[in-house]
Amino acid sequence: MRSSDRKNERGCADLAFAHNDLMNRPGQRASSNTFSNPHEQESKVKPLSLIAPFLLPALLVGGLAAQDEGKEMQSLKQQMQKLQQQMDEMRTENDEAIEDLESSLSRAMAEAGKSRSGTTGFLFTGFATFGYRDAQGSASSFDASFSPIMLFKLGQNLFVESEIEFEIANGPDPAEPGYETEASLEYIHLVWAARDDLMIGIGKFLLPFGQFAERLHPAWINKLADAPLLYGHDGIIPMADVGIDVRGGFSVMRNGSINYALYLVNGPQMDTAEGTIVAGTTQDFNYSKALGGRLGFLPHPSLEIGFSFLSGKTGFDDGGGNTGNLDTLLLGMDLGYVKSFDAIRGTLDGRFEWARSDVDANAAIIGGVDNVRSGWYAQMAYRPDKLESFAKDLEGVIRYDSISLPSSLGEDRNRFTLGLNYWLGNSTVCKFSYQLDDKQDSTENVDAFLFQVAIGF
């Protein structure tokens, strides 16, 4: 055998021996004479040196491959991040474009709306009444009225408010009995809201003298079927007048606020037969305007205290050539308190108003005596609206009012009214009331039963 063949055989044997030794070592514990034979140790180590040249290239190739894979992953991540950034930028641009388009569309619609009639904003509301009255000494009768209220919004800060009252009245000729419909313009008021706390108006408006005329007179808000004596026939306080007004308010203290109203109007005219002042005419007969106003203070949202005045000259013409101007001053005070209490399971609504009218004396008017009138009323209502029964829709009302007239008229009045209301809805109420009316210098008192259904819509 040649030496080269013997070397190949010996190399193959060494490789086989090294393989068997590596396979058997992990599961066996080395004996004390494992390395006792140097020749055997040498024979076991040498074959590994033969394998190393084959293992190193494989490890190098694997490392390079892993390195290339890591670079590819890093490159892919960078590309994905770049794509995500581009998508975010496109999304932002799209959102901004959509917002710009919506803003442009809104402005275009607003401008188009301003130029078209009938699309500026309109609200139709109001109230209606159906009543019955049975008073001593007169025939009982039914009545009805309809009072539409219209609001027109002419712009962002400009609107018109108006109320017309339609009533059924007796015919003018007793010989021809019948019914007619009377219409009266209660107010028509153009208002500009200069700021949130300032409004300026012109037209015929309800006078902010006290609280009842401006805030409580609608039938579905008024707790009783008629108005207090201060505002009724032969009353002291005029309901409305024609002119300009400024109104506003601001906060004070922690929970308090102040509201104010100042107005310049044509001024009152004198009813020479009764000595009462009448306001709301569109012509200033005496070329003198009247100045008035009210200041309201709310130390708490539930309580308001108000002070009112009206000063000017009252013109008169008795039809017999007697004309003139009479210095006139009206003063008033009002109080309103509305609060809900858990202890009594309901809501209290209290009102108080006082007023005094002083008009210069004139021989052509009620005999020339001093024309000084005063009056007041106090009212309290309670509704157990926190109960979970039928009673929550009931409301009890008590009102006492009094008026003092000039001595020549001699009919001071004191009136006590007891009422019970049943609420069919938030703005629909049935009112039952009984009045004890005490007229001084009168042969008998005039008591009356009143019933009214008031509907706000």
Q: Please give the model's pTM, rounded to 2 decimal places.
A: 0.70
Two structure tokens written together for 339: 């609060």
Return d(Cα 326, Cα 313) in angstroms, integer.
5
Burial 49-64 (b: 16+ CB within 10 A, else e): eeeeeeeeeeeeeeee
3-class DSSP state of 50: helix
- Number of neighbouring beta carbons within 10 Å of residue 273: 9
Judged against a pLDDT cut of 70, whether residue 95 lies above it is answered with yes
Q: Write the Ramachandran bin of 261: left for phi over 0, alpha for psi from -120 to 50, otherwise beta.
A: beta
Q: What is the pLDDT of residues 318-337, one digit of tens each?
A: 666 656 788 899 999 999 99
Return d(Cα 254, Cα 301) in angstroms, integer.
11
Look at 4-18, 58-72, 345-359, 384-398 and tell me which has the smallest mean pLDDT.
Answer: 4-18
Return d(Cα 144, Cα 167) in angstroms, integer.
6
Is the distance from CB of 438 to CB of 403 less than 8 angstroms? no
Q: What is the pLDDT of residues 192-224, one digit of tens each?
A: 999 989 999 999 999 999 999 999 999 999 999
Two structure tokens written together for 317: 């013409």
Residue 127, φ and ψ in degrees, nearest 5 = -155, 160
CA distances from 152 to 193, 195, 258, 456 (A): 14, 19, 28, 19
Q: Comparing C-alpha atoms, which of 383, 375, 386, 389 is closest to residue 431? A: 383
Judged against a pLDDT cut of 90, whether residue 16 lies above it is answered with no
Task: State residue 11's pLDDT score.
Answer: 47
Q: Comparing C-alpha atoms, which of 143, 144, 147 is closest to residue 165? A: 147
Sequence-separated (6 or more) residues with CB below 8 Å from residue 161: 149, 150, 151, 152, 187, 188, 189, 191
